[in-house]
Structures are given as C-alpha cells and as structure tokens.
Amino acid sequence: KAGVTQTPRYLIKTRGQQVTLSCSPISGHRSVSWYQQTPGQGLQFLFEYFSETQRNKGNFPGRFSGRQFSNSRSEMNVSTLELGDSALYLCASSLWGSGTGDAKNIQYFGAGTRLSVL
C-alpha cells in the first residue's frame, strides 16, 4: 500500500506570492491533517479535513487555507507569503471513522514539502 505522498518536495517562492501544496493520503484514509514544522516551534497543527469538510483548525491566519476532494486528496494554500512562512509542511492521514480500535487513530506522515520564502 502506498504511503502518504506530498508534492512538490521543495518550493522556492518570493514574498507576496501564493503557493499550493498537495497531499495524497493512504488509500482508504479519509482524515488528512496539515502541520507546519519549524526548528523553533516543532509541529504546529494547521487544520484537519474529513470527508471534504474542515473539521478542526489551528491558530494560523486566514492566509492559510485548505480543501479536500472527494477522493480524500487534500491541498493547502498559502496566500501573500511572508518570510516567516518558510518551513516544512507535513500532512498526515488516518483511518479515523473508517477503522476499528486503536488503528483508526494512528496518523501516518508524508515526507513533507519544504517551502522557502525569499
């Protein structure tokens, strides 16, 4: 079974631009969460999508948005990029709602998209 796939792996943008990141979850997983990882802040939760609906949201400005498609693939968009948005963006998928027992809680991470804002 293929793992969580994120594209692209690397991105270089300039301030003020916008960017879209993509995440394909493990087949059968309906929950997709997005995280921002920086050296000083660890893993910060952005938002979670389940069945095409944003179910939970972290404390990030409205410039950060996302969506989920009917095939559970998810995209994250950041508009008006700032230097501080430079980070590794990770997505994670889980069986939530589809599995049984403890297995449905487990989050599997993608390799991430490293975004550099110049």
Q: Which residues bind other proteins (CB under 8 A)?
A: 31, 33, 35, 41-45, 48, 55-56, 90, 94, 96, 102, 104-112
CA–CA gap between residue 94 and residue 34 (Å, rounded): 12
**Smaller CB distance to other proteins: residue 67 or 111?**
111
Closest approach of other proteins to the CB of residue 73, in Å: 18
Which residues on adjacent β-strands are paired with residue 111? none
Closest approach of other proteins to the CB of residue 96, in Å: 5
Closest approach of other proteins to the CB of residue 6, in Å: 9
**Smaller CB distance to other proteins: residue 16 or 97?**
97
**Smaller CB distance to other proteins: residue 73 or 108?**
108
- Residues 103, 58, 43, 18: is their CA dihedral positive or negative? positive
CA–CA gap between residue 23 and residue 20 (Å, rounded): 10
Q: How many CB atoms are located within 10 Å of the residue 118 CB?
A: 10
